[in-house]
Amino acid sequence: MGVVRPSTPLDRVAGAHDAAVLAVARRGEPVSRTDLAEALGVTPQAISKILARLMERGMMAGAGSIISGPGKPTTLYRIVPSSRRAIGLHLTRTRLRGVVADLTGEVVSHREIEIGHRQPVPELLETLTAQARELADVGSGTLLGVGLGMPGPVDFSGGVYRGTSAPDPWRGAEIRRMLVDALAMPVLLDHDSRAAIVGETWSQPDLLRNAALVLVEDGLGASLSIDGSIVRGAHSHAGEVGHTVVRMDGAPCECGRRGCAQAEFAASLGRGDVEDAAQVLATIVLDLVRLVDVDRVVLGGSTVYAHHEQMMGAIRSALEAGLREEPWVHVEVMLSTRGTDLIAVGSACEVLEHEYGLPTALVGPE
Ligand SMILES: [Zn+2]
């Protein structure tokens, strides 16, 4: 099975330049060569080459010119949102949410369906395929593929759902390969929280260079952006904060241990003690801040949204108390800008990043 567009080191350099120009252009305002040269720290001549490449591919277009002072008028350029689109899917144990996003990562359409709890793999595949086919008919521009974000552990490079040790019908399923075969289009599989942070970095460019995204859906996970790079780790398991122990001999967890944050959080919510659940969340957020030194914490996921005031309040208090002796450490806590679409959009953005020439694990039919 081949990678859609094999990339050489030089492709990746060109890709990174294209990506940087598109990232500036997708903020909305038309831009000039000088704007882009300043934003990227390269010469206007270099920008001309990049723009020519992107215009040839239909991703950028001219946007008229303005007269600013004496001399030649300044030519403006804009991104062409409708030139490309990607499907993003977000799978949970009970729901499937899907979006179509354009080249700027804006949602063109979304839909959500309930699915049977722990569907067997063949049924799950049918559900995913049907949703993707429906969304494939929405929007305009070249359809680049399908991104699927789901609870981990997920093998990002292999496209396999690793699963948990608890009875898990999806464990070991080669979901990416099965979807590629069924849909005959490129597919990418990622951990839900990793997809979420990609989507969030698209909507908050430059703000999430050192950030943790804490996601509370069925489980509790996190993803990290450190020094501008999204962290995956040796087995693409980085950020499994849900399975860090917060209470010795605490509630049994599906991973086989006791007192994991995820198990304690669920146990607290289960007995209606939102305050206690919020404390568990606050504990792991402070631990994350301590461990990897981030200055932004983004919270997302349906469980957080349902109790966001208590969750945000508990986290802010824990950070204030925990960092009292270090007034120079400032950490901003915020809710995701993407709401319930967070993971589906992020999965679509991951597919779009491949078109930008950034390395991803998008794999297409042979
Ligand atoms: Zn656990």
Quick check: is 146 in a domain? Answer: yes
Find the 241 Cα to ligand 1 centroid distance in Å: 9
Blockwise average pLDDT, block size 10, the chain, 366 residues:
52 78 88 92 93 95 87 91 97 94 95 88 95 95 96 90 81 95 96 95 88 92 93 88 94 92 96 96 95 96 94 95 92 94 96 81 84
Find the 344 Cα to ligand 1 centroid distance in Å: 25
Find the 300 Cα to ligand 1 centroid distance in Å: 20
The number of beta carbons lying within 10 Å of the beta carbon of residue 114 is 9
Contacts of 126-134 with CB under 8 Å at 24 or more apart are 127/96, 128/89, 128/91, 128/96, 128/175, 128/179, 129/179, 129/182, 129/183, 131/89, 131/96, 131/98, 132/87, 132/89, 132/98, 132/179, 132/183, 133/183, 134/98
- Regarding whether 221 and 187 lie in a shared domain, the answer is no
Find the 248 Cα to ligand 1 centroid distance in Å: 12
Phi-psi region of 233 (alpha: psi -120 to 50; beta: other; left: phi over 0): left
CA distances from 64 to 30, 31, 73 (A): 9, 10, 10
- Regarding whether 110 and 59 lie in a shared domain, the answer is no
Quick check: is 364 in a domain? Answer: no
Find the 245 Cα to ligand 1 centroid distance in Å: 8
Quick check: is 252 in a domain? Answer: yes
The number of beta carbons lying within 10 Å of the beta carbon of residue 69 is 6
- Regarding whether 288 and 210 lie in a shared domain, the answer is yes
Find the 269 Cα to ligand 1 centroid distance in Å: 16
3-state helix, strand, coil in the chain (%, to 5): 40, 25, 35
Domain boundary among 79, 107, 140: 79
- Regarding whether 349 and 295 lie in a shared domain, the answer is no
Find the 42 Cα to ligand 1 centroid distance in Å: 47
- Regarding whether 170 and 213 lie in a shared domain, the answer is no
| Predicted pLDDT at 2 | 40
Domain boundary among 20, 51, 79: 79
- Regarding whether 216 and 181 lie in a shared domain, the answer is no
Residues 203 and 339: their CA atoms lie apart, in Å, by 12
Q: Which residues contact 158 (CB under 8 A, 6 or more apart)?
A: 174, 176
Residues 309 and 281: their CA atoms lie apart, in Å, by 13
Tally of structural domains, the chain: 3
Residue that is written with structure tokens 């239909």 in the block: 58
Find the 354 Cα to ligand 1 centroid distance in Å: 33
- Regarding whether 304 and 229 lie in a shared domain, the answer is yes
Residue 258 gets which letter from DSSP? Answer: B
Quick check: is 363 in a domain? Answer: no
Find the 84 Cα to ligand 1 centroid distance in Å: 40
Find the 257 Cα to ligand 1 centroid distance in Å: 5
Find the 272 Cα to ligand 1 centroid distance in Å: 21
- Regarding whether 129 and 46 lie in a shared domain, the answer is no
Find the 347 Cα to ligand 1 centroid distance in Å: 25
Q: Rounded to an integer, what is the distance from CA 234 to the centroid of its chain?
A: 19
- Regarding whether 164 and 105 lie in a shared domain, the answer is yes
- Regarding whether 182 and 141 lie in a shared domain, the answer is yes
| Predicted pLDDT at 198 | 94
- Regarding whether 292 and 251 lie in a shared domain, the answer is yes
Secondary structure class of 308 (helix, strand, coil): helix
Quick check: is 31 in a domain? Answer: yes
CATH number, position 292: 3.30.420.40
Quick check: is 66 in a domain? Answer: yes
CATH number, position 27: 1.10.10.10
Domain boundary among 79, 113, 133: 79
Find the 254 Cα to ligand 1 centroid distance in Å: 6
State the residue range of the domain holding 306.
206-336
| Predicted pLDDT at 1 | 38
Find the 274 Cα to ligand 1 centroid distance in Å: 20
Quick check: is 23 in a domain? Answer: yes
- Regarding whether 119 and 179 lie in a shared domain, the answer is yes
Beta-bridged to residue 32, according to DSSP, are 76
Quick check: is 210 in a domain? Answer: yes
